[in-house]
Amino acid sequence: MAEIHRSSQTSEEKQLGEEGLIEATPLPTPLPKKQLAILLLVQMPEQLAASVIYPFVNQLVRSTGITGGDERKTGYYAGLIESLYYAVEAVTILQWGRVSDHIGRKPVILIGLFGITLSIVSFGFSNRFWMIILSRCAQGALNGNIGVVKSVMTEITDASNMAQAFAWLPLAWSTGYALGFLIGGVLSDPAAKWPNSVGRYPLFHRYPYFLPCIVAASVSISSWFITLLFLKEWRRQKVGHAAATIHDKPADAQVDGLPRMLDEAEIASPVSTSVESTRTDFRSILIPGVIIPVLHYGLLSFVDQCMLVLIPLMYSTSRSLGGLGFSSNTIGLVMTVWTMLNGTIQVYTFPRLLRRFGPKRLYITSFTFFLITFSTYPLMNYMAKRNMEVGMWLILCVQLAAYIVAYNTYSCIILYVNNGAPSRELLGATNGLAQTLGSMMRAIGPIAVSSLFALSLENNLLGGTAVYWIMCMIVILVLCFSTYLPKSLT
């Protein structure tokens, strides 16, 4: 009886102890949902404006006469148009990040949204190749929001809820891309599609791609007004009276392997609040904890941009030349469905996957799926040439499903970059550096992969499929470099 009593007592104590541990487990800080929603709305127009041209850019290039009627040369010029946006952005985005450290995040965000609006309207009126080039360059130069938005998201979160907040970023990107692909695919050349209604207006005959561009611009200017009215200036509030705006965990807190953020005492201390010196001391972010994630962000941007360029380029190319022969409508709808599924899945799965596998394992595993996305292109064309439509669409679905898994890499590497920032006052510069390299690699990606695509077809390299196997080799090299990432976020 005594043994039974002791056993029962031990069981009760164990149960009480477990309940006490459960009660003691810190709950995640509630997200500032309104401000987070505004930031996601701010981020969306950039992807929309960048992607709205993809369904029709190859047709636009051919319509200018720059290719001389040779379809195989389209890749060279389409790649240049796609690359210039990111090339110019790479030159300016670091400066936008550093400016936001000085004058605040909100003014820079407003400038970026207004710049997107003007440049995309200009693109819609472009029917000469040089006009297209100038409009695309202006779009890259006037927009520096992506790095600034990530800085603000870090400032309004802490270690307990930062992964949850950043998991929403792919949804904003995917929504922007989805709307861009849908608008660009459905509304391009409306005079030919609807001759009895829109086709009555000479404007749409002279400028067949103006309608999708003006619709994209309307989304951007709407975001500008919402930002002006409702977005708070978090950076100034943090410096002026930190405790009123951000609720950080204690200095030694780490929740579920997520990064430890600076606490209020650190931010208020003389060492960390030498604001003017830390803002201007760019060399302080040139440390391994920043450089390694930033390099990975650049490599990821390159691989992802190559994949994003190959989708409309290969899908729109005729089947006899190694493509699928899809129309702009089909390309737009396919990419819209993919982006919406991608954004929704990322929101619900990324935080759970991060807690289960950790950032490094999740990053490496997800990046491996790029091998599937590139290697399925030749198989799809093989089936398309033999009119095996069901098999072709099945492989296409496998490709895009693998691309969704691969997209987990973005949330992982963004957490690494923000975690490596020496202080909150250098978040703008840190994200600006990451986005500068990312934009440089996104500038190189389109022109490199589209030129490889054209060369593979013109010279029949490996049956016109050389570009895909070269990309697979690059993915393998990046995976080897992934071993240098920290195992956890500390």
Return d(Cα 104, Cα 275) in angstroms, integer: 13
* Cα angle: 253, vertex 254, 259; to 5 degrees: 120
Give me the residue label for tokens 């803002």.
279
Check: CB of residue 101 under 8 Å from CB of residue 432: no
> DSSP label at 188?
S
- Give the pTM: 0.65
Give the contacts of 270 (CB within 8 A, at least 6 positions apart). none
Check: CB of residue 342 under 8 Å from CB of residue 406: no
Class of domain 32-232+255-264+280-484: mainly alpha
> Quick one: pLDDT at residue 473?
96
> Quick one: pLDDT at residue 440?
82
**HSE-up of residue 310 (Cα within 13 Å, Cβ side):** 29
Return d(Cα 153, Cα 442) in angstroms, integer: 23
Domain residue ranges in the chain: 32-232+255-264+280-484
Structure tokens at 465: 């499929």
Return d(Cα 94, Cα 257) in angstroms, integer: 29
pLDDT in tens, the chain (490 residues): 444 455 455 544 444 444 443 344 456 788 888 888 999 898 888 888 888 888 788 778 877 777 666 766 676 777 778 778 878 877 887 788 778 888 888 999 999 999 889 989 998 888 788 888 888 888 888 877 877 887 888 888 887 777 778 778 777 877 888 888 889 888 888 888 888 888 788 888 888 889 999 999 999 999 999 999 999 886 544 444 433 333 343 333 343 433 333 333 333 333 333 344 444 456 777 777 788 888 999 999 999 989 988 998 899 888 888 889 888 778 878 888 888 888 788 878 888 888 888 888 999 999 999 999 999 999 999 998 888 999 999 999 999 999 999 988 988 888 888 777 777 667 667 777 887 788 788 888 888 888 898 888 888 888 888 999 999 999 999 999 988 887 766 6
State the SS3 of 51-74.
HCCCCCHHHHHHHCCCCCCCHHHH
58-76 b/e with 16+ CB inside 10 Å = b? bbbbbeeebbeeebbbbbb
Check: CB of residue 485 under 8 Å from CB of residue 416: yes
Phi first, then psi, for residue 459 (nearest 5°) are -105, 5
> Quick one: pLDDT at residue 234?
65
Return d(Cα 394, Cα 11) in angstroms, integer: 54
> Quick one: pLDDT at residue 246?
35
> Quick one: pLDDT at residue 146?
76
> Quick one: pLDDT at residue 258?
39
> Quick one: pLDDT at residue 31?
81
